[in-house]
Amino acid sequence: TLSDRLTSVLQNLRGKGRLSEADIDATAREIRVALLEADVALPVVRTFIAKVKERAKGSEVSQALNPAQQVVKIVNEELVGILGGETRRLNLAKNPPTVIMLAGLQGAGKTTLAGKLAKWLRGQGHTPMLVACDLQRPNAVTQLQVVGERAGVPVFAPEPGNGVGDPVDVARRGIDEAKRAQHDVVLVDTAGRLGVDEEMMRQAIDIRAAVQPDEVLFVVDAMIGQDAVNTATAFRDGVGFTGVVLTKLDGDARGGAALSVREVTGQPILFASNGEKLEDFDVFHPDRMASRILGMGDMLTLIEQAEQAFDADQAEAAAVKMGSGQLTLEDFLEQMLTLRKMGPIANLLGMLPGAGQMKDQLANLDEKHLDRVQAIIRGMTPAERDDPKIINASRRLRIANGSGVRVSEVNDLVNRFFEARKMMSQMAGRFGLPGGKNTRK
């Protein structure tokens, strides 16, 4: 991951006052690779790197984070900024109905999105209606009708058997019908082509002119990768749009398209689609997308929470201990108490990329169980907490009796402690926490 790479590039930096030019250049190279791997378009990568370099030059080296983490934090903040900072809401018309037109290439997910948006809007107390203006493909109208039924909203479609209808006319009549039946939002589904195509664009422009939508949402498949820039530019210059929806985020794309589309068109990303079911849909979260592009899970959330819960020195001391395999049961207890302040332990561990194994190991550490763990550790002598290896069978029996648990629970805890200590020191090595290098096993 980017974090690994930056860690090795910036290994010798701790303690210096500022990042040097050479350090920044080396860092920039790694960020560039990470962004290209996430399929961000090259020109967008260039602009982005320039911004990050500028910011890194001016920044002091933090005491709480190592330089690699600090650069990752800057990169992340810039990414979140470009991706839109706060999520933008839909523009609703002062005089209903609000008209929302969907545009995009064939297969981008427009029709599916129509159903998702309709369902989501219904959940917010709106009364949406769908209008079927894709008369290109034989099954398109039926597909929208099926989707509408699942979402529990009516669909306006041309009467069958009248030959190929005119999509502009259908759009107009659809809006009239929505007014008559007092639907407060109208979603207009349109036809796409496999590539950008003049006729498709012409039709979209005509529909836009006819219905005067409050929003035109450009629907784009997140898997599109490098081509996102060309497609987005063509739609911007053709029909034009006021917002973006990213689809198929459930796939393995790292989401570079989000950054490309956003940077090139300047339009906000409003929603994210992540599956075929109508519920697989959410408003767009710039911060989540940023960490996905960086490929680091929610490592940054973890950094943030750690910064809040510890002061910098404590964080440093604890990290060194954890990373060097010198953790004692006393520390373990302390850490556990800190972690409990930070929220359910499993959530926290789930944020670490690749922490699945450790998560399983600690899955039993639910909150009630933690109380018992605390009791057991408190039933130990300081010598035992300091060096758990001395805890033999007779000591285990004494501890169990003293803290009111079964011997097997004491055994469990001690075994799990040794496993956790080993794993923390392995993870420290991977994530560049201080102390990770001189692992004592």
Taking the C-alpha atoms of residue 299 and residue 308, their distance in angstroms, rounded to an integer, is: 14
Binding span for ligand GDP by CB under 6 A among 270-278, 302-310, 313-321, 358-366: 270-278
Q: For residue 363, how far is the Cα from the chain centroid?
A: 23
128-132 and 155-156 as β-strands: parallel, antiparallel, unpaired? parallel
| Amino acid found at 201 | M
Instruction: Closer to Mg ion by CB, 107 or 343: give it.
Output: 107
273 is a contact residue toward Mg ion (CB under 5 A): no
374 is a contact residue toward ligand GDP (CB under 6 A): no
396 is a contact residue toward ligand GDP (CB under 6 A): no
* H or E element in which residue 217 lies: strand 215-221
Instruction: Give the list of residues 6+ apart from residue 9 with CB closer than 8 angstroms, or none.
Output: 23, 26, 27, 30, 68
Q: What angle do CA 161, 164, 166 make, to 5 degrees?
A: 120
Q: For residue 38, how far is the Cα from the chain centroid?
A: 13
248's contact among ligand GDP, Mg ion, none, with CB below 5 to 8 A by partner kind, is ligand GDP
112 is a contact residue toward Mg ion (CB under 5 A): no
Instruction: Closer to ligand GDP by CB, 217 or 345: give it.
Output: 217
Beta bridge partners of 132: 189
Minimum distance from residue 241 beta carbon to ligand GDP (Å) = 14
Kindly tell me which residue out of 76, 98, 111, 203 binds Mg ion, with binding defined by CB under 5 A: 111
| Contact criterion met (CB below 8 Å) for 400 and 410 | yes
107's contact among Mg ion, ligand GDP, none, with CB below 5 to 8 A by partner kind, is ligand GDP
Taking the C-alpha atoms of residue 390 and residue 35, their distance in angstroms, rounded to an integer, is: 50
Beta bridge partners of 246: 220, 272
On whether 122 is known to bind a ligand per the annotation, the reply is no
φ/ψ of residue 102, rounded to 5: -105, 130
Residue nearest to Mg ion (CB): 111
Taking the C-alpha atoms of residue 89 and residue 100, their distance in angstroms, rounded to an integer, is: 13
Residue ranges in 165-204 that form contacts with ligand GDP under rule CB under 6 A: 192
110 is a contact residue toward ligand GDP (CB under 6 A): yes
CA R_g for the chain: 28
Minimum distance from residue 143 beta carbon to ligand GDP (Å) = 6
The total of other beta-carbon atoms located within 10 Å of residue 322's CB is: 24
Total residues interacting with ligand GDP, rule: CB under 6 A:
17
| Amino acid found at 351 | M
Minimum distance from residue 112 beta carbon to Mg ion (Å) = 8
Instruction: Closer to ligand GDP by CB, 194 or 393: give it.
Output: 194
335's contact among Mg ion, ligand GDP, none, with CB below 5 to 8 A by partner kind, is none
247's contact among ligand GDP, Mg ion, none, with CB below 5 to 8 A by partner kind, is ligand GDP
Kindly tell me which residue out of 3, 247, 265, 324 binds ligand GDP, with binding defined by CB under 6 A: 247
Q: Which residues bind ligand GDP (CB under 6 A)?
A: 104, 106-112, 192, 247-248, 250, 273-276, 280
Which positions make up the binding site for GTP?
Answer: 104-111, 189-193, 247-250
Q: Give the footprint of Mg ion on this chain (CB under 5 A).
A: 110-111
